[in-house]
């Protein structure tokens, strides 16, 4: 792909140098090969601009920079205000916008993200959909689930678009992506065409990164902006919100799409009617727009009742029947032993993840 074509979606981009063919994109100078575009991303510990000369020596055809780099040699330079944000648009174009060919579900919140992602994926598979996953627990592409060795919940925009591209190649229909506040604020999911945005409860966390609770909630809320900007495609758009969360009303106002709520308080669209602890899990009933949802889930704790109900509400918004939802969260497609092994390796609670 020509460099000019690759960066054409970048506002205020300045291309200096030859318009060369680009055969790969990376922001890691150690991965540069001849013909690559090297993106000079500034991080907390390193600045990619400091490795530009190394990238050029390795064969980089072009550099995406925020400031001019003197040691660029014959490499072209594309100057942008924010290289990390620009990387998201470049990655999407390089991999052919695979997110637009999938139904895409983003799950955010403080606790329960990984569990909720796994439960949504389980319900969708129970309903017959080919489903991929990107979570702290692992990655699922083409029916193969493999553990995530680094536990970085939301990959870089470049890695994420490549994963979605791989999913599309094996005819995946839905992709479920765990979407952290770090991932949202660092543009790892920027420009993705989300069809569903699912929110678990939001509490105070990662303030060492965001500074204030308000900034943390704002980062989470950006998922609703991405949902609003999506065309929706054949699956449309909907936000699934925790009705019992104190931020629910603000999130509802932020959403510019259909909103479904779940929780225990009166007024929730999916409302827990009864719940009880059983050996090895929880049993609960919930009132829904489609009737009463009855679930026996092999997951401990009231918070997992919330996670199950969030997953069911998301799947129901796609058109999955509540009977299938019940099987997906508690039936044979997601045995309790597998859930405990994959999601709760040490304690029955999601570990905080960036």
Distance of CA 238 to the CA centre of its chain: 15
CB contact set of 56 (below 8 Å; sequence gap of 6+): 38, 63, 71, 72, 73, 75
Instruction: Let me know whether 185 and 60 are in one domain.
Output: no
Instruction: Let me know whether 86 and 116 are in one domain.
Output: no
Looking at residue 167, which CATH number applies to its domain?
A: 3.40.1190.10
Distance of CA 7 to the CA centre of its chain: 23
DSSP state letter for 351 = P
Say if 291 falls within a structural domain: yes
Instruction: Let me know whether 189 and 324 are in one domain.
Output: yes
pLDDT top residue among 4 and 338: 4
3-state helix, strand and coil shares in percent for the chain, rounded to the nearest 5: 35, 25, 40
Q: What is the mean pLDDT of residues 323-335?
A: 73
Q: Dump strand ranges (E) for the chain.
A: 14-16, 24-26, 36-39, 62-65, 76-79, 103-108, 131-134, 138-141, 144-147, 174-178, 196-199, 238-242, 258-263, 270-278, 281-288, 291-297
Please state which of the ranges 30-34, 193-197, 279-283 shows the lowest mean pLDDT. 279-283
Instruction: Let me know whether 87 and 117 are in one domain.
Output: no
Instruction: Let me know whether 166 and 309 are in one domain.
Output: yes
Is 90 exceeded by the pLDDT of residue 56? yes
Q: Could you tell me the pLDDT band of residue 38, with boundaries at 50, 70 and 90?
A: very high
% the chain with pLDDT above 90: 78
Q: Look at residue 91 in the predicted model and tell me its pLDDT.
A: 98
Please state which of the ranges 144-158, 217-231, 253-267 shows the lowest mean pLDDT. 144-158
- Residue closest to 22 by CA, chosen among 51, 54, 59, 58: 59
CA-to-CA dists, residue 296 to 123, 197, 240, 252, 283, angstroms: 14, 25, 22, 30, 4
Summarised one tens digit per residue, pLDDT across range 291-320 is 999 999 989 999 999 999 999 999 999 999
Summarised one tens digit per residue, pLDDT across range 106-136 is 999 999 999 999 999 999 999 999 999 999 8
Instruction: Let me know whether 122 and 257 are in one domain.
Output: yes
Rounded distance between C-alpha atoms, residue 164 and residue 299, angstroms: 29
Q: Could you tell me the pLDDT band of residue 343, with boundaries at 50, 70 and 90?
A: very low
Q: Look at residue 237 in the predicted model and tell me its pLDDT.
A: 97
Summarised one tens digit per residue, pLDDT across range 142-155 is 888 888 765 566 89
Q: Look at residue 334 in the predicted model and tell me its pLDDT.
A: 41
Instruction: Let me know whether 46 and 149 are in one domain.
Output: no
Q: Look at residue 278 in the predicted model and tell me its pLDDT.
A: 86
Are 153 and 175 in contact by the 8 Å Cβ rule? The answer is: no
Instruction: Let me know whether 37 and 80 are in one domain.
Output: yes
Looking at residue 52, which CATH number applies to its domain?
A: 3.40.1390.10
Mean pLDDT taken over the chain: 89
Q: What is the mean pLDDT of residues 179-186?
A: 92
Q: Look at residue 114 in the predicted model and tell me its pLDDT.
A: 93
Say if 353 falls within a structural domain: no
Say if 180 falls within a structural domain: yes
Say if 350 falls within a structural domain: no
- Residue closest to 303 by CA, chosen among 105, 177, 116: 116
Instruction: Let me know whether 236 and 172 are in one domain.
Output: yes
Is 70 exceeded by the pLDDT of residue 270? yes
Q: Could you tell me the pLDDT band of residue 209, with boundaries at 50, 70 and 90?
A: low
Say if 106 falls within a structural domain: yes
Given 65, 94, 123, the domain boundary residue is 94
Q: Look at residue 211 in the predicted model and tell me its pLDDT.
A: 65
Q: Look at residue 148 in the predicted model and tell me its pLDDT.
A: 73
pLDDT top residue among 346 and 123: 123
Instruction: Let me know whether 88 and 112 are in one domain.
Output: no
**For the purposes of burial, counting CB atoms within 10 Å of the CB of 131, is it exposed (0-12), middle (13-18) or buried (19 or more)?**
buried
Distance of CA 302 to the CA centre of its chain: 25
pLDDT top residue among 335 and 127: 127
Say if 218 falls within a structural domain: yes
Is 50 exceeded by the pLDDT of residue 342? no
**For the purposes of burial, counting CB atoms within 10 Å of the CB of 171, is it exposed (0-12), middle (13-18) or buried (19 or more)?**
exposed
Are 328 and 127 in contact by the 8 Å Cβ rule? The answer is: yes
Q: Look at residue 208 in the predicted model and tell me its pLDDT.
A: 55
Q: Could you tell me the pLDDT band of residue 348, with boundaries at 50, 70 and 90?
A: very low
Q: Look at residue 146 in the predicted model and tell me its pLDDT.
A: 84
Given 94, 112, 140, the domain boundary residue is 94
Provide the domain limits for residue 126: 98-343
Q: What is the mean pLDDT of residues 34-42?
A: 97
Instruction: Let me know whether 15 and 133 are in one domain.
Output: no
In the chain, how many domains are there? 2
Rounded distance between C-alpha atoms, residue 88 and residue 165, angstroms: 14
Say if 352 falls within a structural domain: no
CB contact set of 312 (below 8 Å; sequence gap of 6+): 123, 262, 270, 286, 288, 293, 295, 322, 325, 326, 328, 329
Q: Look at residue 279 in the predicted model and tell me its pLDDT.
A: 84
Instruction: Let me know whether 138 and 237 are in one domain.
Output: yes
Q: Could you tell me the pLDDT band of residue 242, with boundaries at 50, 70 and 90?
A: very high
Given 60, 94, 128, the domain boundary residue is 94
Q: Look at residue 43 in the predicted model and tell me its pLDDT.
A: 84
Say if 335 falls within a structural domain: yes
């Amino acid at each position: 792909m020509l460099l000019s074509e690759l960066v054409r979606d970048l506002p205020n981009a300045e291309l200096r140098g030859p318009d060369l063919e680009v055969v790969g994109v990376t922001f890691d100078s150690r991965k540069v090969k001849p013909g690559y575009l090297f993106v000079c991303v500034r991080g907390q510990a390193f600045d990619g601009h400091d490795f530009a000369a190394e990238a050029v020596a390795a064969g980089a055809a072009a550099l995406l920079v925020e400031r001019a780099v003197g040691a660029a040699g014959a490499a072209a330079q594309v100057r942008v205000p924010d290289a990390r944000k620009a990387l998201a648009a470049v990655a999407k174009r390089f991999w052919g916008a695979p997110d637009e060919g999938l139904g895409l579900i983003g799950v955010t919140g403080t606790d329960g993200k990984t569990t909720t992602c796994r439960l949504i994926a389980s319900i969708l598979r129970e309903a017959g959909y080919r489903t991929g996953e990107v979570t702290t627990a692992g990655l699922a592409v083409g029916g193969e689930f493999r553990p995530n060795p680094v536990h970085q919940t939301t990959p870089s925009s470049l890695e994420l678009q490549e994963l979605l591209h791989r999913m599309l190649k094996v005819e995946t229909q839905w992709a479920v992506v765990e979407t952290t506040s770090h991932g949202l604020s660092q543009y790892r999911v920027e420009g993705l065409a989300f069809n569903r945005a699912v929110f678990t409860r939001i509490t105070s966390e990662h303030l060492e990164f965001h500074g204030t609770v308000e900034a943390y909630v704002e980062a989470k809320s950006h998922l609703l902006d991405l949902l609003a900007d999506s065309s929706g495609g054949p699956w449309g758009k909907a936000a699934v919100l925790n009705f019992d969360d104190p931020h629910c009303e603000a999130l509802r106002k932020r959403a510019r799409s259909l909103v479904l709520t779940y929780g225990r308080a009166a007024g929730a669209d999916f409302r827990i009617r009864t719940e009880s602890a059983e050996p090895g899990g929880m049993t609960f009933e919930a009132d829904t727009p489609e009737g009463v949802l009855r679930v026996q889930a092999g997951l401990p704790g009231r918070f997992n009742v919330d996670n199950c109900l969030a997953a069911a509400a998301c799947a129901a918004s796609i058109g999955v029947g509540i009977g299938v939802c019940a099987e997906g969260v508690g039936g044979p497609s997601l045995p309790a032993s597998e859930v405990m092994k994959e999601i709760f390796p040490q304690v029955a609670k999601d570990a905080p993840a960036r």
